[in-house]
Amino acid sequence: MYSIDLMVKEHDNILKLINVIKNACCEILDGGEVNIEDFEKMIQFARNYADKHHHGKEEIILFSKMTQHLGNLAEKLINHGMLVEHDLGRLHISELETSLKQYKDDPKTIYKLGIIGGAIGYANLLTRHIDKENNAVFTFAEKNLSSEILESIDVLVKDFEKNAHEQRVQEKYLGILEELTSKYCSNK
Ligand SMILES: [Fe+2]
Ligand SMILES: [Fe+2]
């Protein structure tokens, strides 16, 4: 199915960001400088691509169809699972941003700890979250939603993608990801 295939591909891109985040944190632990500009780019990708662009499609389109048409189990899975994890991801990113600002003003080790804590909290949460979606939530949706509903999801997702494309969302953030990946993930 177009929409689920697309969202799984987006997960691969988010997992690339997670590798960047982990390698950037390892560099700090190995005694390297905190590259504030690069961490700001990671935050931008997490907020605008992983959250607004990807979680946006899940929340507004796929998950909303699942809670409307798949009963109690889907409602629990989405409202008490996936959506809570999206919120927790936002919290980790804002903790990372706060520590980064504090470190920028006053480069103390305690703020470095906050940067690593926020970044790794996000990385670990999203890794588990993506695994659950790829292997349980998306497969559950594809198996149980009617073909009419699946088609209506595809129509809405295509429209969402078209709008984002017109605003060059994919181009901009995949460009940032490419730049970060070549810096932090080559030969690793
Ligand atoms: Fe999600
Ligand atoms: Fe997802």
Q: How far is the CA of 105 from the centre of ligand 1 (A)?
A: 34
CATH number of domain containing 95: 1.20.120.520
Q: How far is the CA of 102 from the centre of ligand 2 (A)?
A: 30
pLDDT recorded at residue 140:
97
Structural domain range at position 6: 2-184
Three-class SS of residue 176?
Answer: helix
188, pLDDT greater than 60: no
16, pLDDT greater than 70: yes
Ligand nearest to the CA of 85: 1
pLDDT recorded at residue 187:
64
Exposure of 165 by Cβ count < 10 A (0-12 exposed, 13-18 middle, 19+ buried)?
A: exposed
Total number of domains constituting the chain? 1
How does DSSP assign 106-146, residue by residue?
S--HHHHHHHHHHHHHHHHHHHHHHHHIIIIIHHHHHHHS-
Q: How far is the CA of 60 from the centre of ligand 1 (A)?
A: 11
In the chain, pLDDT over 70 holds for what percent of residues?
99
Residue 11 in tokens: 């997960």
Sign of the alpha-carbon torsion through 109, 115, 119, 125: positive
How far is Cα 58 from Cα 62, in angstroms, rounded to an integer?
A: 5
Q: How far is the CA of 129 from the centre of ligand 2 (A)?
A: 7
For the segment 9-21, the average pLDDT, to the nearest whole number, is 98
pLDDT in tens, 110-168: 999 999 999 999 999 999 999 999 999 999 999 999 999 999 999 999 999 999 999 99
For residue 186, name the pLDDT band (cuts at 50, 70, 90): confident
Ligand nearest to the CA of 78: 1
80, pLDDT greater than 80: yes
